[in-house]
Structure 1
Amino acid sequence: MNPFQKSLMRLFAAPRINMLEDYEKVRRLQRGLAAPRSLAKFRALDVTSFPADGKPPVPLRVFTPREQRRDDVLVFFHGGGWVTGDIESYTPACQTMADLTGAVVVSVDYRLAPEHPFPAGLEDCYRIARLFLEDPGAVGIDDPARVVLVGDSAGGNLAAAVSLLLRESSRPIPQRQIMLYPVTHFDHDPATSPFESVRRHGEDYRLTNTEIQDYFELYVPDPEHRRHRMVAPLMAEDLRSQPRTLIITAELDLLVDEGEAYGRALADAGNDVRIERIEGALHGFITLPRFARPLRTAYGIIDEFLDGEQGALAGGAA
């Protein structure tokens, strides 16, 4: 990008807020921004999972595409640093996902930190994944192979952790998973991070070093626990037997290097992986209006992946 383009993109950088103190304000702002777009008549149904093992039920919102082109069911874990985001603020993005993929999307309203720190949100996502994979008939699915785990940012982290936890628990795992600019590592301090993108993009654009470190403080208060493989999947020593995976990263995102590193680690463990990087894209582009170029490019790649087409391991800019 030339200097003018970079300056223009910085206009869309996240405001410098104190997430440790202002997360509730951010939640309200996100819902408010989504509300005008939610006035459209979305084809959505709210349902609630049954409580299990003493855990509370998990709200779900099911989105039906205008034209259903495939039988896949995309079980979606939203982003927001495990602290913000919910099925309300992600309703426009999920309806777009349903329409552009032609598949049913199930948005999971997992519990958020700091009210419910790790592993509460992961437990909710794990329970819902098990429901869809182990008892698909109960949710109207005739074949668990149709279930695809999808997540963006912290939701991508949760998708990775759920797949690892399913395998470690000897449970059925999904055949496919899609991670959009996922969090896979615990260190986002420019002085110590092993990833150059943390230093290159951590102050200028949509997500900042300070913001993501605040998220980690709220989600996993004990710094030592942030190295756990269910918090930082890139720290897992055994990544074998994972689903066929698509990882899509954003060029101007501080998470771009760690997301692609996780894809390479999965491939090194013998998994089928496709990695794609969207040029000029910022973190969070999946929530953009559906005419936005990064979003349209990403959904073209997602369509190919869902259709079974393979891609280069190293990814390449799209």
Structure 2
Amino acid sequence: MNPYKRIALKALSHWGRNLKKNYRVYRRFTNVVSVCTGHGCRIADLEVAAGDRNIPVRLFHPDDPALGVLIFFHGGGWVTGNVDSYTHVCSNMANQTKNIVVSVDYRLAPEHPFPSGLEDCYDATREFFKNPGLLNCKADDITLIGDSAGGNLAAAVSLMARDRGEFLPKRQILIYPSTYNDHSENSPFPSIRENGTGYLLTSEEIQNYMDMYAPNIEDRQSPYLAPLLARDLSNQPDTLIITAEYDPLRDEGEAYGMRLKEYGNNVKMYRIKGALHGFFSIPWKSQHVSRSFEIINWFLNSYNGQSEELL
């Protein structure tokens, strides 16, 4: 990595040190940034009824006829981010993949700790699987996708769907997902120590997010919070996992892919060289985002489960 870029990243990495105190400021900041970025597709807001509550979702229709549906869960450590801050991401995703994108505005921690946000994601997904006509598609046309904490939620929804038996996605796309419950120096994954400082997202920041999302320590043993802890990973969707070279979460995301393969699932993994955690949501074009969409489109259009190498 360029040494000047490395110095700049180290300075920016101090931003998350007061996360627990300033998470509301972070939320406002991400919304301000999203206002400064444009979008280029048709957008519609609606609510999905789930028991005694309604879950807001935002639909992004591509300019071209839709080939399928992506149900998207945004990142932000389960604490920041929303459908507004991810509007540019989802708009670009819709046009790049020619899929309708459904962005779920799930409840955030710490006001709503685990499993509140996960239950929102599950309930919204279940309704679209039970009523695919709402999106003018078939259930088999629906793919789950999420980045970072959203990748964690996508994996958890797939596990929960198998366990509850109400529906089962055919495909899931996990972009640099969180899959484990320990991001301290005791983590079994080298990327936590190698990339845990000086690369924007720090291991300290990840631990702060986890503290706010799952204040109950017992919850951190749940496979719906840390999918790598699941005793049984059989009968999971065809899976694409995209990781970033300089990401603290890199190794646990790839470890999850390997465990899915051990249980007979079809898995494809790609590591984006030179990329940092969060690259997928930057508000400008980059080679890393372009490469990711090449991989995603290949997966959506022609995945056959035969190629499993990590590139």
If the TM-score is normalised by the length of the shorter chain, which range does it land in? over 0.9
Give the Cα separation in 2 of the matches to 1:227 and 1:314. 30
- C-alpha distance in structure 2 between counterparts of 1:11 and 1:96, whole Å: 29
Give the partner amino acid of 1:283: H
Of 119, 123, 144, the match for 1:123: 119
How many Å separate the matches in 2 of 1:266 and 1:171?
A: 21
Aligned to 1:140: 135
Partner AA of 2:195 in structure 1 = H
Does the 8 A contact of 1:79 with 1:156 survive in 2?
A: yes
Number of paired residues?
310
Matched with 1:96 is 92
Alignment gaps of 5+ in structure 1: none
Question: Would the aligned equivalents of 1:264 and 1:314 in 2 still touch at CA under 8 Å?
Answer: no
- Partner amino acid for 1:142? C
Return the match for 1:186 from 181, 187, 190.
Answer: 181
The one of 66, 72, 78 equivalent to 1:76 is 72
Partner residue in 1 for 2:157: 162
1:109 and 2:108 matched: no
Q: Would the aligned equivalents of 2:43 and 2:59 in 1 still touch at CA under 8 Å?
A: yes
% same residue: 45
Contact 1:61 1:107 in 2 (8 A): yes
Aligned partner of residue 239 in structure 1, secondary structure: coil
Shift of 1:141: 3.0
Q: What SS does structure 1 have at the residue aligned with 2:44?
A: strand
Offset from partner CA, 1:218-266 (integer Å, 9 cap, x none)? 1100223212101000000000000000000011100000000000000
Write the deviation string for residues 203-230 of structure 1: whole angstroms up to 9, x where unpaired.
Answer: 1112111111111111100223212101
Bigger proportion of residues as strand:
2
Secondary structure of the residue that 1:240 maps to in structure 2?
A: coil
- Name the counterpart of 1:298: 292
Q: Does 1:173 align with 2:168?
A: yes
Identify the match of residue 202 of structure 1 among 193, 196, 200. 196
Q: Secondary structure at the match of 1:49?
A: strand
Point out where structure 2 has 5 or more consecutive residues left out of the alignment: none
**Structure 1: how far apart are the matches of 2:95 and 2:9?**
28
Pairwise CA RMSD:
1.6
Amino acid at match of 2:192: V
C-alpha distance in 2, partners of 1:35/1:187?
34
Q: CA deviation at 1:285?
A: 1.0
Matched, 1:242 2:236: yes
- Are the counterparts in 2 of residues 62 and 106 from structure 1 also a CA contact under 8 Å? yes
Q: 1:16 to 1:174 in 2, by over 3 A?
A: closer
CA distance in 2, matches of 1:180, 1:204: 21
Cα distance in 1, alignment partners of residues 18 and 249 from structure 2: 20
Between the aligned partners of 2:272 and 2:195, the Cα distance in structure 1 is 15
Q: Provide the C-alpha distance between the structure 2 equivalents of 1:16 and 1:244, rounded to a whole number of angstroms.
A: 34
Per-residue deviation, 1:157: 0.3
Deviation, structure 1 residue 198:
0.0
Partner of 1:268: 262
SS at the partner of 2:7?
helix
1:64 and 2:64 correspond = no
Supply the AA of the counterpart residue of 2:97: T
Equivalent pair of 2:37/2:283 in contact (CA under 8 Å): no
| 1:25 aligned residue | 25
**Aligned match of 1:152:** 147
Alpha-carbon displacement from aligned partner over 1:151-207 (angstroms, at most 9, x marks no partner) = 0000000000000000001122110000000000000002x0000000000011121
Which of 215, 219, 240 does residue 221 from structure 1 map onto?
215
Give the TM-score, by structure 1 length.
0.93
How many angstroms apart in 2 are the aligned matches of 1:94 and 1:11? Answer: 29
Letter matched to residue 120 of structure 1: S
CA distance change for structure 1 residues 41 and 275 in 2, over 3 Å: closer, same or farther? closer
